[in-house]
Structure 1
Amino acid sequence: MTSKKPIAFPVATVAHVGTAFIVGSKRGNWLVTTGHNFTGMRLSTRDWSKWDQDLFIGCSDGSRIRVPMFDAAGEPLFGWAPDQLRKGLVDDAVALPVSAALVQRIGCAIIQRSSIGPVAKGQTVTFFGYPGISDLHAIPPLRSKSGCVVNVEHGYIFINVASEEGYSGGPVFAGPHLVGMVSGNTKENPPQCLAIHLVEMAGKLFGAAP
């Protein structure tokens, strides 16, 4: 996280506006964001026809890029994982393979896959995103929030601070380690940030480790 390039960047679909980041290894680079950016619902269907087909990326130079998420046959170009608890649904994390040229054009930092690690109850974490963003024409500054992990179960990290609209898809760090991706909030009062525990699904999103 010492790079001068932003650790995350804004993305948009017809359904949603949120955050994404890049994970890289010797095998390539992946754009990581939430499935609900494409469906408007955190519990996304596996019926791909109900997903927005394209992702729009806000670059650090102010330009925007359109990236297809499905091939001509309607099959996903991204890695995904089935929901652990709900049959027929998709877990709220997708990883799209992207070229080095596209990463350079976005102008963001690359988070190494080797930095992905587990997190435990009681650890302090920090997540990044674009709260308050409404579209890619007026991009607010990249922000962060820190909190304490109160639980880790069923592939999710529960954090004792609330997320906000725009943080969805943002990376979550425990020190130098990438531990998760913001998915939303719990329904508790006060709400807690709910994040995907990436170490539990890295193989499904990025393939076998290098």
Structure 2
Amino acid sequence: MKRQSIPVSSKKSVASGFFVTDGDSFWFLTCAHILTGLRHASNNWQNWNQSITLHAAGGRKLVIELFQGDGSPLFSWLHDSVNGKNVEDVVSVRLSSNQVKLFHDYTFFELEKISNPNLSSMVNIFGYPSFDYRIQTNPQESTKKGAVIGRGCQFLQLNVLSEDGFSGGPAVFEESLVGIVSGNLGGGAVRAAIVQMSGIESRLFI
């Protein structure tokens, strides 16, 4: 069975990511806060990691450079907390055909099959909350299931707690991509925040 997510590491943190496709193009996705160490990232590129490492099963690794020589980004990024309302926090990096071949045993979620589940629908989140790239070459993917209990501006709330390491992983409903795990909402409640792909797709994949 193909894995739904992949563990990633940077100088800022260890977390998760995943892959999407529209048939002709392929992208890797994760959360911006993984690359900056800041909950609310900005376009001050000095705060960003220069690269991110994807750790595939069996010890395979791919280092993705995030900036060109002139300092301009090689990724698309959506700002978290736009106008103080939206939860976005998402980065996408276009992959070459050779890079895609390295991940033949991982799911590439189809953008034309994005799901928008109703309240009370059960959604699975995937990631690597206990991953340590220094000692693990074949980490086990973890999953949690929670019901949709609320909606915000382009995000869903689940009645399950995300853990460190789930950030950047996919949220899935009936095998279709819902969005990306972006941590937990505040206020002490058990509410994982899922950025909905349906709300950001047109701006993220350009």
User: Which residues in structure 2 correspond to 1:71-150 (within 5 Å)?
Assistant: 71-86=68-83, 91-106=88-103, 107-135=105-133, 137-138=135-136, 140-150=139-149
**TM-fit CA distance, 1:66:** 1.1
Q: Contact 1:60–1:108 (CA<8 Å) still a contact in 2?
A: no
Residues 33 and 39, structure 2, Cα contact 8 Å, conserved in 1: yes
User: Paired residue for 2:178?
Assistant: 179
TM-score norm. by structure 1 comes to 0.89
Note the residue ranges of structure 1 that are not aligned, 5 or more in a row.
Answer: none
**CA displacement at 1:84 relative to structure 2:** 5.0
Amino acid corresponding to residue 102 of structure 1 in structure 2: Q
Does the C-alpha gap of structure 1 residues 137 and 131 become closer, same or farther in structure 2, counting only changes over 3 Å? same
- Aligned-residue sequence identity (percent) comes to 28
Provide the rounded CA distance (Å) in 2 between the counterparts of 1:137 and 1:36. 24
Native 8 Å contact 1:49 1:74 kept in 2? no
The CA distance in 1 between the partners of 2:69 and 2:113, in whole Å, is 34
1:154 corresponds to = 153
1:196/1:103 CA distance change after superposition, 3 Å: same
- The CA RMSD over aligned residues, in Å, is 1.9
Distance 2:134 2:195 in 1: 25
Q: Which runs of 5+ in 2 are unaligned?
A: none
The answer on whether the counterparts of 1:185 and 1:192 sit within 8 Å (CA) in structure 2 is: yes
Q: Which amino acid aligns with 1:141?
A: Q
**Match of 2:195?**
196
Query: How many pairs align?
Result: 203
